[in-house]
Amino acid sequence: MDFDQQEPGGIPGQGSGEGALTQLLWHAASFILPVFSLRFYRIAQRKRISRALVFFVLFGTVLSVLFTFKIVRIIDELDREVAATLTRGDFPDITIKDGVASVDAPQPLVLLDQEGRLFVLDTSGVYEGIDRERYREGILLTRTDLMVLDGSGERSSIRLAELNDLFNTDPIVIDETFLKTAWEQSSRVAIVVGALALWIWHTVLRLMVLGLLGLLIWGTVSVVRNQMDFASIMVTGIYALVPALYLHYLLGRVGLTVPGLQTMTLMLTWLGISMASLGYGEDSIEGQEGSLLRMTPVGIPMLLVLGWDVVFAPDIDPLALWGVPVLTFIAWMVMRRFHYEEDQPPASLV
């Protein structure tokens, strides 16, 4: 495999080398150009695969940051709800001393009993357990035990005396201060763990998936063109991920969430671009990188709108969101004609 592919001529007038600014512009433009231009993929295939890998990590990091902001927004909303609940005094003080619980409220106190879920505080003995025939999930605090029914139907119980021993605290007081502290600490941990998990998924795990899918695409494309090397296939796949993920997100916004849809969208986009780009000759892309970079700003509003929608999930008609890439496509076609480009139809309308 040729992992050190020949560098293209770059932007006209700069010779065969590319400066740091040009590389930075190329990475920034790669958030937009793969959506609209087949010629972009032919130019990318002539660059080193390391260039595509750098963009892949950058793209995955940006996605991770956006979805982390979404987690922060959700937790911030929950913070306000928890604070309001504690301020109203809806949750009573609970004291566990010598393995015996006492609740500063009339008993039994049913905090939740709907949609197959139960949350009850009862030290009076009225509730002796959680009915698995009636409830899917539940928490029951009795005078001496804490019972939990998880979503799989498994029921577990722990003696409250064991909690005193576990935390080496007697008594354990669960009040407003305790709950606020516990929530703040758990929410911070959730943000950090969520951000790390998102980054690992969008970079390490997704690269492994791309490698496996790349072998399938390579085998399919090789039937038409035997000399198509694996490095070129992987470069195409990395950039094809951009329109595929945009399309998958927009489909999800209109309620289309079929299992495996993201992988299928990527494979079809990847294969279609690989097959379509076979017809390009080297002469047809000579000197076109600068022209493509100059057209990049037309897609910036689309990126801003999609990013805003990911983080804030505004209450708008999802079909209206589709109008943004459609209008961007129209603007792209107008600009392409203005620049006298004779390109093939866009790789994707999204």
Q: Total domain count for the chain?
A: 2
CA angle 285, 286, 292 (to 5 degrees): 65
CA distance 170 to 165: 8
Q: Are residues 285 and 203 in the same domain?
A: yes
CA distance 339 to 200: 40
Q: Which residue, 267, 299, 291, 303, is CA-closest to 340?
A: 291
User: Can you tell me the mean pLDDT for 220-246?
Assistant: 88
Domain-embedded: residue 4 = no
Domain-embedded: residue 19 = no
Band (pLDDT 50/70/90 cuts) for residue 193 is very high
User: Can you tell me the mean pLDDT for 185-195?
Assistant: 89
Query: What does the pLDDT read at residue 12?
Result: 39
Of the two residues 239 and 257, the one the predictor is more confident about is 239
For 10, left (φ over 0), alpha (ψ -120 to 50), or beta? left
Sign of CA pseudo-dihedral 40, 249, 188, 204: negative
Band (pLDDT 50/70/90 cuts) for residue 336 is confident
Domain-embedded: residue 84 = no
Q: Are residues 170 and 199 in the same domain?
A: no
Please state whether the predicted TM-score (pTM) of the whole model is above 0.85: no
Query: What does the pLDDT read at residue 279?
Result: 58
Domain-embedded: residue 1 = no
pLDDT in tens, 103-142: 888 888 888 788 788 888 888 888 888 888 888 888 888 8
Q: Are residues 252 and 331 in the same domain?
A: yes
Average per-residue pLDDT in the chain?
83
Domain boundary among 142, 174, 206: 174
Structural domain of 109: 94-174
Q: Are residues 54 and 162 in the same domain?
A: no
Q: Are residues 220 and 326 in the same domain?
A: yes
Domain-embedded: residue 14 = no
Query: What does the pLDDT read at residue 15?
Result: 39
Query: What does the pLDDT read at residue 89?
Result: 65
Examine the pLDDT at 16 and tell me if it is beyond 80. no
Q: Are residues 52 and 107 in the same domain?
A: no
Give the C-alpha distances (Å, rounded to integers) separating 337 from 263, 294, 295, 343. 34, 13, 11, 9
Examine the pLDDT at 143 and tell me if it is beyond 50. yes
Strands (E), the chain: 94-97, 100-103, 109-114, 117-121, 137-141, 145-149, 155-159, 172-174
Q: Are residues 58 and 133 in the same domain?
A: no
pLDDT in tens, 62-109: 999 999 999 999 888 888 877 777 677 667 888 888 889 888 888 888
Q: Are residues 202 and 322 in the same domain?
A: yes
User: Can you tell me the mean pLDDT for 24-52?
Assistant: 92
43 touches 288 (CB < 8 A): yes
Q: In the numeric block, which tokens belong to residue 140?
A: 């029951």
Domain-embedded: residue 82 = no
Query: What does the pLDDT read at residue 280?
Result: 55
Domain-embedded: residue 81 = no
Q: Which residue, 309, 300, 290, 287, is CA-closest to 331?
A: 300
Give the C-alpha distances (Å, rounded to integers) separating 211 from 216, 235, 241, 262. 9, 11, 13, 16
Query: What does the pLDDT read at residue 203?
Result: 96
With a pLDDT cut of 70, the percent of the chain lying above it is 86
Q: Are residues 63 and 98 in the same domain?
A: no
Domain-embedded: residue 325 = yes
Interhelix angle 261-276/38-45, rounded to 10 degrees, is: 80
Q: Which residue, 237, 301, 248, 247, is CA-closest to 270?
A: 237
Q: Are residues 155 and 194 in the same domain?
A: no
Q: Are residues 255 and 137 in the same domain?
A: no
CA distance 209 to 54: 17
Domain boundary among 174, 196, 215: 174
Examine the pLDDT at 29 and tell me if it is beyond 90. yes
pLDDT in tens, 168-178: 888 888 877 78
With a pLDDT cut of 90, the percent of the chain lying above it is 37
Domain boundary among 140, 174, 208: 174
User: Can you tell me the mean pLDDT for 26-46?
Assistant: 92
pLDDT in tens, 264-288: 999 999 999 988 876 555 545 556 7
Band (pLDDT 50/70/90 cuts) for residue 5 is very low
Q: Are residues 148 and 258 in the same domain?
A: no
